[in-house]
Chains A and B, each alone.
Chain A
Amino acid sequence: MLEYILRRLAYVIPISFGVTVLCFALVHIAPGDPLDAVVGADAPAEVVEKLKKDYGFDQPLPFQYARWLGRALSGDLGLSVVNNQPVAAQLAIAVPNTLMLALVATAIGFVLGTLLGGLAGYYQGTWIDKFATGFGVAGVSVPHYWLGIVLVIIFAVELNVLPATGIGPGGSDGWKFDWAHLRHIVLPAITLSVIPCGIITRTVRATVAEILNQEFIQALRAKGLRHGRIMLHIIKNAAPTVLAVMGLQLGYLLGGSILVETVFNWPGTGFLLNDAIFRRDIPTLQGTILVLAMFFVFLNLVVDILQTLTDPRMRRG
């Protein structure tokens, strides 16, 4: 098992290398000169040359990559070309907001998904199974940005019980644990939770159904155990798979919240990305994607290791 964990840890190195190369490449697949957003089209040639030197764009690509990586490792993700703010400082505000949203959404997805999926897997073929299966398919098929709009229409426009946009009252850009702020997270979190809800429901249903087909369950029934006790055995066996799926979902939500953040004006990384794309602010785009992707790599690692630790079958292998 230790060998597996070490191998898994070592595997992070080539993957991180690939991820950084891809993020670095984003600047160069962007059409036009990376300096276009900084200098006007009518800027004198010497100014452009000087800027090129300042930004290091006159050097060969591997050099530029090494320099960029070195800086990124020390926490310097460059300056936004729009407002000259350090990208890292903008991310320090945006990442916690996105994390908050993604965590709440994953929690909702986990609770609803395991409940529905568990019941559906245990009582296969009943109405609750049909409902959960339908719910699961709908959850993975619904365009969540549309669902967000529909929820806003129902709860903010028609019923007027929840706020439509923002993270808190009066243009607040940080999180506080009070009702005024809590009201703002309800709709975006529910919207974002439909995908993990659908996926977790489907996974739990399939896992439970598979476990129920195994012989040890028959043995437990033959022994005369009651439903509740058998349920405990099922939970114990299903937990590693479900936890792994949940961990991955959290990662997907961190990267995938951009559409929901756009619908709700939630000041997170997605909002930052959206803004960066439209102002052609490539350093901000690059930095945000690098941070989110590295977070995802790290989360994958943690999930894999936790799964190895919790699943005795994998521990032996």
Chain B
Amino acid sequence: MNTPIAEANIDVAQVAVQSRGYWTTVLQRLRRDRVTLFFGSVVLAIILVAIFAPLLAPHDPYHASMIKRLKPVGTEGHLLGTDETGRDMLSRLIYGARLSLFMGIMPVINALVIGGALGIIAGFVGGRTNMIIMRAMDVFYAFPSVLLAIAISGALGAGIFNAIISLTLVFIPPLARVSESVTTQVRNLDYVDAARASGARALTIIRVHVLSNVLGAIFIYSTSLISVSIILASGLSFLGLGTKPPEPEWGLMLNTLRQAIYVNPVLAALPGVMIFITSLSFNLVSDGLRSAMDIKV
């Protein structure tokens, strides 16, 4: 698993010219893109399931039962069977959406804010500041992303909070790179020179001209990172570094159900199916949005 290396070739000038009618075009393109619409509704469904988990889950996800362990899929009263301590699988998968989504999305949001800001500062100020920030980012790039995440959360110890910190650190450098390269492009455009000549302050220029260009690019890039982040976050839990038992989380469930692969293989594979569907849907929605918004990152 890796973070795609960010090479932003955004035609900044073009995006700026299309100010009116741009979003209408994007919506029109999306309406015709059936794949994106389908997987977009899957993403929406998973998010809704996470939010309304208490209403949807048929059982208490923590309620264990010694006599009902590892019941197969289709057992009466337990549609998707029960896990190794007799807890209802369907309820745990539904509740699992909460932690898995939270741990997958939070690092990307954090990194979006921190990496985006670092990139804008580096790109706008330029010179030595740029060098220091971007070289520091290069050091993090020198680690394969999985290794970096595991190294940091391994040193910090298990826990949801530590897992989120380590994943945030993994995603800051790529986002900083994208926003730096877009900012550098914008900074040298004529209309920014014009704004500067007319007496606009740096903060105003950043707010009006730079942000409007950078946000689209890093937003699209972050949506593609969510898929990686969900796999990595569940991977950390799978290793025992993220959530702790008895919390329902897909990666952790996959780990604890490994002992059941000889008894009830279908059951043991279920949590991974959820991770796969979620990450696949986010990936395809990201691809669709990218082509609809005509952004190449």
Chain A positions within 8 Å of B, measured between CB atoms, are 14-15, 18-19, 21-23, 26-27, 29-31, 137-138, 140-147, 149-150, 152-153, 157-158, 195, 199, 248-249, 251-252, 254-256, 258-259, 262-263, 273-274, 276-278, 282, 285, 289, 292-293, 296-297, 300
Contacts and interface: CB of A to CB of B under 8 A. Distances in A.
A280 to B, nearest CB: 8
A155 to B, nearest CB: 12
A278 B240 contact: yes
A213 to B, nearest CB: 15
B247 to A, nearest CB: 18
A106 to B, nearest CB: 13
Contacts of B145: 252, 255-256
A26 B2 contact: no
Nearest to A249: B2
B136, B144, B146, B239: which has the most chain A beta carbons within 10 Å? B144
Contacts of B103: none
Contacts of A254: 144
A35 to B, nearest CB: 15
B13 interface: no
A125 B147 CA distance: 37
18 contacts: A15-B139, A19-B143, A26-B152, A29-B152, A142-B276, A143-B272, A144-B1, A146-B273, A149-B269, A149-B272, A251-B144, A252-B1, A255-B145, A255-B147, A258-B147, A259-B235, A289-B147, A293-B143
B2 A252 contact: yes
A262 B275 contact: no
Interface residues of B, number: 49
A19, A21, A256, A274: which has the most chain B beta carbons within 10 Å? A256
Contacts of A277: 150, 154, 239, 241
A196 to B, nearest CB: 9
Given A296-B144, A300-B142, A153 B155 contact: no
B91 interface: no
Contact of A143 (B5, B138, B235): B235
Contacts of A157: 261-262, 265
Main secondary structure of the interface of A (DSSP, over half): helix
B254 A145 contact: yes
Contacts of A296: 142-144, 147
Nearest to A148: B272
Contacts of A29: 152, 155-156
Top 7 closest A-B pairs, CB basis? Answer: A146-B272, A255-B144, A18-B139, A255-B147, A256-B146, A277-B154, A141-B280
A258 B146 contact: yes
Contact of B268 (A21, A149, A300): A149
A138 B275 CA distance: 12
Given A15-B142, A258-B239, A137 B2 contact: no
B279 interface: yes
Nearest to A29: B155
Contact of A153 (B152, B234, B268): B268
A153 B143 CA distance: 32
Contacts of A199: 2, 4
A109 B271 CA distance: 26
B155 A293 contact: no
A216 B97 CA distance: 51
B157 interface: yes
B146 A137 contact: no
Interface string B230-255: 01001100111100000000010010
A315 B245 CA distance: 56
Contacts of B157: 30-31
Contacts of A276: 154
Contact of A150 (B147, B151, B269): B269
A14 B142 contact: no
Interface in B104-146: 135-136, 138-140, 142-146
A110 to B, nearest CB: 15
B280 A293 contact: no
Given A144-B1, A256-B147, A273-B150, A18 B142 contact: yes
B185 interface: no
Contacts of A144: 1
Given A22-B139, A149-B254, A258-B239, A282 B268 contact: no
